[in-house]
Amino acid sequence: MIKTIDFTTEITKEREIYVKLPDDVPAGPTRFLIFLMSSEQTPLNTLGDLLRSEFFGMWKTRPDITEAVDYARQLRQQAWSRSQ
């Protein structure tokens, strides 16, 4: 099971955080991935946020990419062939 829980907390001076998980999270061994985001940053929540982000169009000035769709297809094919 993968469950995303979004919460805001304070990091103590000892670099600790305390988390109370919802009741529907089962007890037992688990793995946590923690992504730290500065309080000044806001997550990308919508397509509009993504379009306004630094990620959209970041390759537009690359002279070696003339057709984005073909380039993306080529990258996918290379990735797929490596995974086999």
Q: Over the range 8-47, which residues count as b (16 or more CB within 10 Å of their CB) and which as e?
A: eeeeeeeeeeeeeeeeeeeeeeeeeeeeeeeeeeeeeeee
pLDDT the model gives residue 13: 92
pLDDT the model gives residue 23: 87
pLDDT the model gives residue 62: 82
> Over the chain (84 residues), what is each successive 10-residue block's mean pLDDT?
77 89 86 75 72 80 84 88 68
Kindly state the DSSP code that residue 15 receives in the 8-state scheme.
S
CA neighbor of 22 nearest in space, from 50, 45, 3 = 3
Measured CA to CA in angstroms, residue 45 lies from 33, 42, 59 at distances of 19, 9, 22
pLDDT the model gives residue 11: 86
Domain boundaries, the chain: 48-82
pLDDT the model gives residue 41: 61
Whether this model's pTM surpasses 0.75: no
